[in-house]
Amino acid sequence: MIPTLEWLPEGVNFLDQTKLPLEETYVLATDYKQVATVIRDMIVRGAPAIGVSAAMGVAIGIDRSTATTISALTEEIAVISKTLAETRPTAVNLFWGIDEIRNLYNALAAKNTPIPEIKAAVVAKARRMYDEDIAACKQMGAHGASLLPREGTVLTHCNAGALATCGYGSALGVIRAAIERGHKIDVFADETRPFLQGARLTAWELMKDNIPTTVLCDNMAAHLMSKGRIQAVIVGADRIAANGDTANKIGTYGVAILAKEHGIPFYVAAPWSTIDVNTAHGDLIPIEQRNPREVTHANGKQMTPNGVAIENPAFDVTPARYITAIITERGVLRAPYDQSIPQMAKQETAQPELVSG
């Protein structure tokens, strides 16, 4: 299993995804500020991994605190949480991870639990969230494998694999599960400009698993769909609104439109924590704007004229009408999502095969 991140006695150790695929190096974060930098600089990325990283960031902040009173520690946690919350605004998992640890802290603090016990409890919780994320990915794979073709080519955009989670992957986890069940699948991986998560990361991890993989420039999908060379599309998500509108890496919306035009199923695979029932529709999802240098430079070399204007949104929103199904660890959601999502939300412990509105 690819070690995307790991809690160590010294701190949280992150595989540096900015150096892949040519270098496999790690960054050790020993305090919450360093965890925030790792998230902001995309050393770790992918909504599920960001969520667990944020939880570990809050936990390490609490664990390393020198506060001697609950009131002082509570003040510190407000700063810790704010620092982490400001790193990547689109991925709702970020806020989920922060809230999971803060809610546990608040419950323990309300009981006047001794600070050493609080520290042990929040660290244990963050480490459980790591294991739970891997389990959720495998459950997504179990639910979604049968949706993929028994034989054929699946297109994916960005990286929704083991590198975007704590292990196994969401969209790539479904692909892995299908292959484990005997499906003969090969993968087209969009390069995913401008950060090249597909070319650098998806191709790297699928090749490690000996899954046949071909990298495409982002503008090649329409041509290949028109030739019948793509049988399904599956992507991850950074936030899914209550009506099923889905924010994912920039370029996903265009792929979804192309899939619809060519009659190709378009699937989204994401943990339940990515569904934001408090955001009614996609227009309300905040879209992160990133550094223009990601567009103007490649491998340190400037590719655009000096002074030209740059637009660099990190995500776009795919309207629910283009999504064939949403695969979660709880089961598979179908349209109308504004009915099936609330229905599944009520089933906290259920593992339904299919929920239709």
Which active-site residues does the annotation give? 238
Q: State the Cα–Cα distance between residues 356 and 325, nearest whole angstrom.
A: 10
Helical segments of 46-170, H only: 47-63, 70-85, 92-110, 115-144
Strand arrangement, sheet containing 26-29: 5-8, 11-15, 26-29
Nearest CA-CA partner of 196 in 53, 266, 298: 298
Residue with the two structure tokens 């389990």: 135
Say if residues 282 and 319 touch (Cβ distance below 8 Å).
Answer: yes
Say if residues 318 and 296 touch (Cβ distance below 8 Å).
Answer: no
Residues 6+ apart with CB under 8 A from 53: 5, 12, 14, 35, 38, 39, 44, 97
Say if residues 199 and 215 touch (Cβ distance below 8 Å).
Answer: yes
| 27: number of Cβ within 10 Å | 21
Q: Is the peptide bond before 305 cis (omega within 30 degrees of 0)?
A: no
What tokens appear for 339 in the block? 């009915």
Say if residues 246 and 239 touch (Cβ distance below 8 Å).
Answer: yes
Q: State the Cα–Cα distance between residues 253 and 133, nearest whole angstrom.
A: 26
